[in-house]
Amino acid sequence: MGLSDLDRLIEPSRVRNYALMLLAGYLLLIVVLALAAEGGLDPAGKPLGADFIAFYSAADLALQGRAAEAYDFAALFAAHERAVPGTQHLFAWYYPPPFQLIVAPLARLPYLAALGLWVGVGLGLFLALVRRLTDHPWAPLLALAFPATLLNVLHGQNGFLNAALLGFGLLLLDRRPWVAGALLGLLVYKPHLGVLLPLLLAAQGRWRSFAAAAASALGLCAASWAMLGPEVWAAFLDNFGKLGAVIDGKLLPQAKIPTLFVAARELGAPSGLAYALHGGLALALAGLTVLAWRRPGPQRLKVALAVPAILSVSPYAFDYDLVLLAIPIALLAEHARRDELPAGAKAALVLAYFTPVAFSGLAQLTHVQLMPLGVLALYAAAWASLRRAAAAQAPLRSGNRVEQAPA
């Protein structure tokens, strides 16, 4: 069976029906978890929202004037227990101070109310982004059925906010360059998602967006310094030095980390080799993406190309971060409504769609981490689609130059 044969299996009605089944399963799972919960705890002793308790606890400490203690495990766990008595698990806080400033108001609400507000607003922003990416009537259904959506809801994570800032920021570059840059700069609270952005903005000479991004990033950092105190930055920088040892020492759930570094480590590669392999891939993707952004071609396909590259350059990411893949999936699917995609591109979209959950179980059982392949397959599909679209535009550009030559 060839790539074209796989593409033919992906029919619109089949896509819709599977999405409906997934969504029904999600709703059932959420209802079961809600009914099984006692005192805000699930049967495993974890708080509902799981990861969100780290956000809420850091926010609580910030409101008490003890923001720096969010990086102290004992103080953070004590805040967990105040939020959800009886919790048995520590959820560490590694984020820079700007994110603590963003979530601080949530601690003025009871834990479950804050969780509901956080997830509800984030999901609303995510669905608004999807509607901006495509006006297909099934798009909201597919977005809700996206496995990464479920992960963010269950874990109370920040993937929806990340997607909204990155997606709207990249989409607005042409029409609202200052606003676009300001949105992208706010990603300073999740800095590994912004590593490629300065290169991409510079590659296209988008200096207004570059300046706006720098201003909003510096402004948010300055606000956190002023409102939370300089000691929180000292604590963050001290803690940041320990994060590398945490990642390198396999102290995080490896099956949930979709990076080449972790994939190599899980196969037994020493740390140095794993970093070298990951670094080589990161440099290659950065170079190819910058080159593509400098060359002619539809900007929306360049955005589709940038997102999987952004997810691949850092050795640190989690499965809930893969909600960002909704951006290239939607852009490529929208492009397919007008132009034929290259062979295998539809199959790559489906693979990327299921990547956030399809390979986690396999990684837990076998220590073979295949999530990076789903991200790279989507990058390849975006690259091939952009090349085809740019080639189709080339005769038009050439014709315009010939017509304008006599003038």
- Residues 237-248 have pLDDT tens digits of 888 777 777 777
Q: Is residue 2 part of a domain?
A: no
Q: How many domains does the chain have?
A: 1
Q: Is residue 14 part of a domain?
A: no
Residue 402 predicted with pLDDT over 70? no
Alpha-carbon dihedral sign for residues 22, 23, 24, 30: positive
Domain of residue 305: give its range. Answer: 29-391
List CB contacts of 17: < 8 A, sequence separation 6 or more: none
CA-to-CA separations, 130 to 17, 109, 124, 139, 349, in angstroms, rounded: 19, 29, 10, 7, 15
Q: Is residue 309 part of a domain?
A: yes
Q: Is residue 9 part of a domain?
A: no
Q: Is residue 349 part of a domain?
A: yes
Looking at every residue in the chain, the average pLDDT score rounds to: 90
Task: Give the pLDDT score at 242.
Answer: 73
List CB contacts of 4: < 8 A, sequence separation 6 or more: 343, 344
Q: Is residue 350 part of a domain?
A: yes
Using CB atoms within 10 Å of the CB of residue 94, give its burial: 0 to 12 exposed, 13 to 18 middle, 19+ buried: middle
CA dist 33 and 354 (Å) reads 22
CA dist 275 and 291 (Å) reads 24
Q: Hey, which residues does 41 pair with through a beta bridge?
A: 38, 47
Output 66 or 241, whichever has higher pLDDT: 66
pLDDT per position as a tens digit, 256-295: 999 999 999 989 999 899 999 999 999 999 999 999 999 9
Q: Is residue 22 part of a domain?
A: no
Confidence band (pLDDT; 50, 70, 90) for 4? low
Q: Is residue 406 part of a domain?
A: no
The pTM of the full predicted model, rounded to 2 decimals, is: 0.92
Residue 193: how many other CB atoms lie within 10 Å: 23
Q: Which two tokens stand for residue 179?
A: 């606003």
